[in-house]
Structure 1
Amino acid sequence: MGAVEHTRRLGVRKMRPRDPLEMFRSSSPLELFFDLVFAIAVSLASAQLFQAETSAHVGEGIVSYLMVFFAVWWAWMNFTWFASAFDADDWLYRVLTLTQMAGAIVLAVGATPAMIDGDFGLIIGGYVVMRLALVAQWIRAAQSHPSMRRTALRFACGIGVVQVCWVLFAFVPDSLAKIVFCVLVLAELAVPIYAESAGTTPWNAGHIVDRFGSFTLIVLAESVLASVTAAAGAAEQVTHLADLALIGVSGFLLAAGMWWVYFSADASAWLQSRRSAMVFGFGHYFVFAAAGAFSAGVKVLLDYEVGHARVDGTLTSVLLAGPIAVFLLGVWALVLRPHFSRPYASLFVIGAMLIGLSPLASVLGAAPQVTALVAAAIMVALVVVIEISGIRRRA
């Protein structure tokens, strides 16, 4: 912590900016603990998405999921970027970070009533707790470093004002709730753009890439765990274990392929400007949300196999293949695109789109488990494209 100076009061350090060129900067134990707590919120949101999809409330479920996921993702990302620039790791910093985790737990508990009954009370309460704890961190940063004072105060004031609006959101009529929600989302997204225009915070590109990679890994692992748990339950009810085995193999190949694709290249080389950082951070909303929705898609497929799902085979295939295609295209745009030559980039994009179109096999009469196997085969082909292109060896 060479860039962090100590004060002489109560063991609280001055929150000096970290060195943006610090080598070998990786996630701290506190940051990894933070990720695990937020993964719980992702897991519960994904579980409610599955309940909505398997009961044929697909549209409402997806909209609610995306709304809840925004709260999880935005609070996580704001802490991640702040910690990359101002990680004091004293007792006050830890207490405020743990407070954000407590807010995440409240948010996770609120995912069920929000997605089932449209009651966002707990979601908003947990979210505001997380965001106000971050306001306190920005105020510390403003007091500790004069050159960052203007930027830090813009963050603190902007976040604080939007949180007041979120509290007032509870009084918005249901007919206007989604419109007001979108307006508040835009206000949240505008805060870092406005604040960083006064001066860029000294985030570490390698650290940011490591943090986003860690969270992606945790979300994918949660998807595998949820799928295996669902498969174990389905095994007690199916009579054709060969079909269940086919789904298991396909699901694992798809998850492994998503992991392989994401970690095939290093984005830190081009993550050097404020604009590229904004694109990288904002774009990961779709990558993370798709990874969480993938888990729900696998469970819907298993539910269909045992005869519990209320959706038909084609929609079942769409709910599995759609999130995978979004994930792959998002990773291509945010991570892989600068590393690919044009022919390989074209092959990759075409492959991702073919996975998105694989449910057409169900329209032609193929069973959903066969469609999943087709998607898995295309995923294997995409991994081969990555290996032949050589981008992983250059990373």
Structure 2
Amino acid sequence: MAAGRRRRPGRLVVSALSGLVLLFAIWWLYFLVPAGAGLAERRHRSYRWGYGHYGIFAALAALGAGLKIAVEQTGHELNASPLAICYAVAIPAAVFLTALWLVHAPIVAEPVVKPAAILGGVGVILVVPLAAPRIGVATVVAAIAAVNVLITTIAIAAGRKR
């Protein structure tokens, strides 16, 4: 029993730090391309921009709830399947990325985040939780964070090339 207790704080730290890294990565993606100039030039798309944020905000709220459950599971072993807990993080993360691209792409002249990066990242994010029973919740959350960091890094590199 003591060995299990020694490992749990490490998984808890990994889960919490991965959630923080995930949130920083999506924050960075959101603010990577300023929307003001695009909205000024394409006013006819402002409704899509404004109402599209309902999906973005809903995904962020659901992601926060999923991360809370993931951290809770790592610390206290909830009576829920690891697969369900990991999808409580993965689905909102995937919805956020998709909604962000759908809202930003029509208002900027050249999107920094390419559809292939979003679709590939969303695909990986939605497949990774299938490994949750074998690798654990903390590792899946870390993998989801890593995918988001990779997408952010690709977007930053593409933005610098322009």
Could you say which TM-score interval applies, normalised by the shorter chain? Answer: 0.7 to 0.9
Q: CA deviation at 1:353?
A: 3.0
Amino acid at match of 1:355: I
Q: Which runs of structure 2 are paired with 1:1-395 in the superposition (5 Å)?
A: 239=6, 240-272=8-40, 273=42, 275-307=44-76, 309-336=78-105, 338=108, 339-340=110-111, 344-362=114-132, 365-390=134-159
Amino acid at match of 1:280: W
Q: CA deviation at 1:336?
A: 4.4
Amino acid at match of 1:361: A
Deviations 1:188-222 (A, max 9, x none): xxxxxxxxxxxxxxxxxxxxxxxxxxxxxxxxxxx
Give the aligned CA root-mean-square deviation in angstroms: 2.3
Are residues 341 and 267 of structure 1, via their aligned partners in 2, closer, same or farther at CA, if it must alter by over 3 Å? closer
Question: Counterparts of 1:269 and 1:353 in 2: how far apart (Å)?
Answer: 31
Deviations 1:261-288 (A, max 9, x none): 0001022233245541111111110101
Are residues 278 and 362 of structure 1, via their aligned partners in 2, closer, same or farther at CA, if it must alter by over 3 Å? same
Q: For the pair shown, which has the larger CA radius of gyration, 1 or 2? A: 1
Q: Compare the two structures and name the one with the higher helix fraction.
A: 2
Give the corresponding residue for 1:154: none
Question: Counterparts of 1:306 and 1:385 in 2: how far apart (Å)?
Answer: 33
For structure 2, the 5+ residue unaligned runs are none
**Percent identity over the alignment?**
26
* C-alpha contact 1:358 1:375 (8 A) present in aligned 2: yes
- TM normalised by structure 2 equals 0.83
Are residues 303 and 335 of structure 1, via their aligned partners in 2, closer, same or farther at CA, if it must alter by over 3 Å? same
Question: Counterparts of 2:50 and 2:79 in 1: how far apart (Å)?
Answer: 36
Q: How many residues align?
A: 154
Larger relative contact order, structure 1 or 2 (CA cutoff 8 Å, min sep 6): 2
Question: Counterparts of 1:370 and 1:348 in 2: how far apart (Å)?
Answer: 21
Are residues 308 and 244 of structure 1, via their aligned partners in 2, closer, same or farther at CA, if it must alter by over 3 Å? closer
Are residues 318 and 335 of structure 1, via their aligned partners in 2, closer, same or farther at CA, if it must alter by over 3 Å? same
Q: CA deviation at 1:331?
A: 1.0
Question: Counterparts of 2:127 and 2:17 in 1: how far apart (Å)?
Answer: 20
* C-alpha contact 1:283 1:330 (8 A) present in aligned 2: yes
Q: CA deviation at 1:341?
A: 6.7
Are residues 248 and 325 of structure 1, via their aligned partners in 2, closer, same or farther at CA, if it must alter by over 3 Å? same
Q: Secondary structure at the match of 1:271?
A: helix
- TM normalised by structure 1 equals 0.36
Amino acid at match of 1:256: F
For structure 1, the 5+ residue unaligned runs are 1-237
Question: Counterparts of 1:345 and 1:385 in 2: how far apart (Å)?
Answer: 12
